[in-house]
């Protein structure tokens, strides 16, 4: 989860080594990381250089050019090594790089997973290999034993976007149960509409009967007439 601009915490020992080896920190760091950087320090580191005297005056001038991050030691300053360790907390949540030449500080930083270390050797800036604590942490995350803070935040944000939560889940379950039950109104018989009379059954009309009877009589008469003719003809 290290993204640009990369935040690099520096102390007086690193600035002193850069001054001796004629290394331009502002120019070299972006080239080394191939990206934008933010060089920063703490008020405790600056005050430590002030107390050490004129020998570190040049390192103090270099360190003053960088951003000063707030630390919890404004009223009672502590050594720079202790201050930088407190800035990283337990798991480096702000994703700091640390640039230092202090050996006791580097041993303390290697116990914290996910802390990249810079130091100077033979006129060059070197990025130290990942510590054993970092490797163990990565292995635990890959095996599923741990969830990184960045993953926890992303999971929580996705749950909020999708509306998934304990309360929301319970409400949705309740709603689904209500929907699964049959609607009581659908079980009622359909009522006949009031005010609409039922159409009466159609009765055969009297005129139709008469027509049919007349037609039958006419047919019978014609048959009798034909029969009579036949008889006359035979006679």
101-105: Cβ within 8 A, 24+ apart: 101/13, 101/14, 101/16, 101/17, 102/11, 102/13, 105/11, 105/80, 105/81
Domains (range + CATH), the chain: 6-129 (3.40.50.1010)
Global confidence as pTM: 0.61
| pLDDT tens string 24-67 | 999 999 999 999 999 999 999 999 999 988 889 999 999 999 99
| pLDDT tens string 59-102 | 999 999 999 999 988 888 999 999 999 999 888 999 999 999 99
């Amino acid at each position: 989860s290290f993204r640009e601009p990369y935040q690099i915490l520096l102390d007086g020992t690193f600035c002193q080594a850069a001054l001796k080896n004629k290394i331009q920190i502002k120019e070299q760091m972006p080239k080394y990381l191939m990206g934008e950087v933010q060089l920063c320090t703490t008020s405790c580191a600056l005050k430590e250089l002030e107390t050490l005297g004129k020998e570190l005056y040049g390192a103090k001038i270099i360190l003053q050019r960088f951003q000063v991050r707030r630390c919890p030691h404004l009223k009672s300053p502590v050594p720079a090594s202790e201050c930088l360790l407190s800035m990283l907390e337990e798991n480096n949540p702000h994703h700091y790089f640390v640039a230092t030449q202090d050996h006791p500080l580097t041993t303390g930083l290697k116990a914290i997973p996910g802390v990249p270390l810079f130091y100077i050797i033979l006129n060059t800036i070197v990025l130290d290999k990942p510590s054993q604590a970092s490797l163990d942490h990565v292995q635990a995350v890959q095996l599923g034993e741990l969830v990184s803070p960045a993953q926890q935040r992303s999971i929580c944000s996705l749950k909020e976007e999708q509306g998934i939560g304990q309360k929301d889940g319970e409400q949705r379950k309740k709603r689904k149960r209500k929907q699964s039950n049959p609607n009581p109104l659908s079980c009622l018989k359909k009522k006949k509409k009031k005010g609409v009379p039922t159409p009466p059954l159609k009765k055969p009309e009297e005129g139709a009967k008469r027509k049919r009877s007349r037609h039958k009589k006419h047919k019978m008469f014609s048959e009798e007439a034909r029969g009579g003719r036949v008889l006359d003809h035979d006679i």
